[in-house]
Amino acid sequence: MKMRCVVTGHAGQGRSVFTADEPLDPLTISLAPGIEFYRIWGADQIPAVPNQASVPDSAAFFPAEGGFRVHVTTFPVEPAAPPSNLDMSSAVSEAKQKLPGLLGHMEPENPGMHTTRSVDVDIVLSGELVLELDDGVETLLRTGDIVVQNGTRHRWHNRGRVPATLVAFLVGAGGREG
C-alpha cells in the first residue's frame, strides 16, 4: 500500500501551515514476512500544540503511560512463516532495530499473541481481520469496523483473500497488564 503523511503546524502569529508532506515507506522484518508496518506519529508524553514532532526511529513501538502511537499495519493473507534458513539472530536484531520493543511484548510460544499496557482504537481500513483473544474466542472485523482494546491479550489473523490494513491509535495507560 502506498501511504503519504501530511502534517500541519503553526507559523508566525499562529498561522496554520503544512509542515510536512511525505510518502511513507513501510518497515518490514524478516521474522514476519509480508507484514508492513508504518509508524505514523507518536510521543512519549501528553502532546502540546504547537507540535512539530514525529515518532523518533528509536522510540518504543508501544507507548509508555501518557504517550501515544499511531500505526498502520498491512497483514498479508495468513502470513508465511519465516524461511527455514533464516538467521534468527540477525532477524531478531533487525526487528529490535526497526521496531524497538515490539518483540518484548510478543509470546514466542504463541506467535502473534501479545499484551500491551495501552488502550487501542483499531480501525480496519481494508480487507478483513480476525481478532483472537486469549481464550481463543474470535471475531471477524471487516472494512470500516472499529475495535477498542483495553490492554487485552490478543493476536490478529488475516484469513481473507486479500491483504488487510489496520490503523491503530494506542494510548499508553496506567494500571496493570492483563
Cis-peptide into 50, omega within 30 deg:
yes
- What mean pLDDT do residues 14-42 have? 91
Q: Which residues contact 135 (CB under 8 A, 6 or more apart)?
A: none
Q: Quick one: pLDDT at residue 1?
A: 77
178 pLDDT above the threshold of 60: no
66 pLDDT above the threshold of 70: yes
- Domains defined for the chain, CATH in brackets: 3-9+24-172 (2.60.120.10)
Rounded to the nearest integer, the mean pLDDT of the chain is 89
CA-based angle 152:169:66, to the nearest 5? 80
Q: Quick one: pLDDT at residue 154?
A: 96
Please measure the distance between the N-terminal and C-terminal CA atoms of the chain and give it in whole angstroms: 33
How confident is residue 53, by pLDDT bands cut at 50, 70 and 90?
low
Q: Quick one: pLDDT at residue 65?
A: 92
How confident is residue 71, by pLDDT bands cut at 50, 70 and 90?
very high
- What mean pLDDT do residues 80-99 have? 88
177 pLDDT above the threshold of 60: no
